[in-house]
Amino acid sequence: MASGGSLIPPTPDSILFARNLFQALNDSTELRAKNHMVSPAGARSALTLVFMGAGVKSAEELRSGLLLGKAKKLEIAQQHAEFMSKECVCSEKGASMRLATGLFVNNLLELQADFSSQALEFFNVKPDTLSFVDGQSAMQHVNKWLQKHTFQTIRDLFTPAIFTPEASVVLVNSIYFRAKWAKRFAPQHTLLDDFWINDSQRMQLPMMRQVGKFRYGQSRKLKSRIVQLPFDESDLNMLLLVPFDIAGLPELEAKLQQVDLNVVAQKSVMHDCEVILPKFKLESDVDLKVPLQKVRLTLTLCLIHSHFLCVRQLGVKSIFESGQADLSGLLANRSRGLITEVRQKLYLNVNEAGCESDPSEPIVPATAAKDADLKVFKANHPFVFAIRNARNVYFVGHYVRP
């Protein structure tokens, strides 16, 4: 309960899952050292599809790991269809979002007819059977599918080695996203500036600049500055967190394990603010099997005025293990059935106009009155970003070097 007796809105399970997945990804030393991002909303959608075809232990692991609650499968599927119809739409105005999930099955296995019909009705997914004997042909088929469903922005996710006669089910996920800033950056204000990789290493890159009214804040707990950049005609925004210290990213991400992004966003209020942000393009290719097996749920328990963190292991494991996976609702022949691969490929182009938008459009520079209390948000060293609204996190990642 907030001060004054007002109730704090409950955090959606999708937001909590985003925190848990990002935390699990950052357990990887390799990923911590390079630019990376993940789509929690995309991953949760793809794995919810698998949940629809999972039985007993596998279904319970997915229910717990994805935070799907106690609803019956049909109700969960209907909720997903509503999410798709409201959130994942492409339009001429506002943000465009396309969620692409592909489920490719070795043609030696037989799909359950009920699963295929539910996948199409509630997830807009048409499961596909392929010959995995010819890995090259299967690879070309899946890469072509991905390219088509992301409007040519993503190419060549797989290699032939993924598709072997022993493989069972390959799950592919991506999100196409395009949106304009509500307040765009003027290209003429973009200048080369230093980006500090660490305390002793820096590189120059184009830094966008503008002054305007934005939601801005500082968090002593996270030791970071926060800003929200809204997208035009949308409730989506890019939430950015830059640590006070150049080397502060590891501590920031460790503390984000204890707080969800909705709470972080509430730390910001409208201010006159100068925003300085790199132009950047980011591609990620994430093997989700490892982080899904490490997903943990962190609960904050409040007893009187003391707070305790309770961490529960909720790893999704059995669907990846031969002899343990129960995909009896997905495959007619469950003896060999397991999820062989879960891969997510994402692309993000952040420029003066927005994300994956045309920066050549004429832009009138935003202006603001001179203010002695002008806040400055300068992302000139490693930072965290998220594209989100109060209901879902579509992208979350960090940028550590040009």
* Interval 288-293 mean pLDDT: 92
The more confidently predicted of residues 5 and 135 is 135
pLDDT tens per residue across span 21-39: 999 999 887 888 899 999 9
The whole-angstrom separation of Cα 318 and Cα 252 is 32
The whole-angstrom separation of Cα 380 and Cα 278 is 7
Sign of CA dihedral 15, 16, 17, 21: positive
pTM value > 0.75 = yes
Residue-level pLDDT at 92? 75
Provide the residue type at 275 as one letter. V
* Interval 119-131 mean pLDDT: 97
> What are the C-alpha distances in Å from 289 to residues 294, 344, 381, 386?
9, 10, 30, 22
Residue-level pLDDT at 262? 96
pLDDT tens per residue across span 155-198: 787 889 999 999 999 999 999 999 999 999 999 999 999 999 99
Cβ atoms of residues 38 and 286 within 8 Å: yes
* Average pLDDT score, the chain: 89
> What are the C-alpha distances in Å from 118 to residues 80, 114, 329, 368, 378?
11, 6, 11, 52, 47
Which CATH number is 182-278+353-399 given?
Answer: 2.30.39.10
Cβ atoms of residues 260 and 266 within 8 Å: no
Domain 13-179+284-347 and domain 182-278+353-399 have a common topology: no
Give the tokens for residue 301. Answer: 């328990």
Report the percent of the chain where pLDDT is more than 70.
88
Measured in whole angstroms, how far is the alpha carbon of residue 60 from the centre of its chain?
23
The more confidently predicted of residues 178 and 314 is 178
Q: Is the pLDDT of residue 369 over 80?
A: no
Architecture of domain 13-179+284-347: 2-Layer Sandwich (3.30)
Q: Is the pLDDT of residue 386 over 60?
A: yes
For residue 148, which of 136, 137, 140 has the smallest C-alpha distance?
Answer: 140
Extents of the domains making up the chain: 13-179+284-347, 182-278+353-399
| Residue in the block written with tokens 């019956």 | 72
For residue 159, which of 289, 345, 331 has the smallest C-alpha distance?
Answer: 345
Measured in whole angstroms, how far is the alpha carbon of residue 123 from the centre of its chain?
18
Residue-level pLDDT at 302? 36
For residue 48, which of 396, 346, 342, 397 has the smallest C-alpha distance?
Answer: 342
Half-sphere exposure of 268 (CA within 13 A, CB side): 26
Cβ atoms of residues 68 and 59 within 8 Å: no
For residue 203, which of 300, 271, 278, 295 has the smallest C-alpha distance?
Answer: 278
Cβ atoms of residues 127 and 327 within 8 Å: no
Residue-level pLDDT at 309? 42
Residue-level pLDDT at 64? 94
The more confidently predicted of residues 194 and 297 is 194
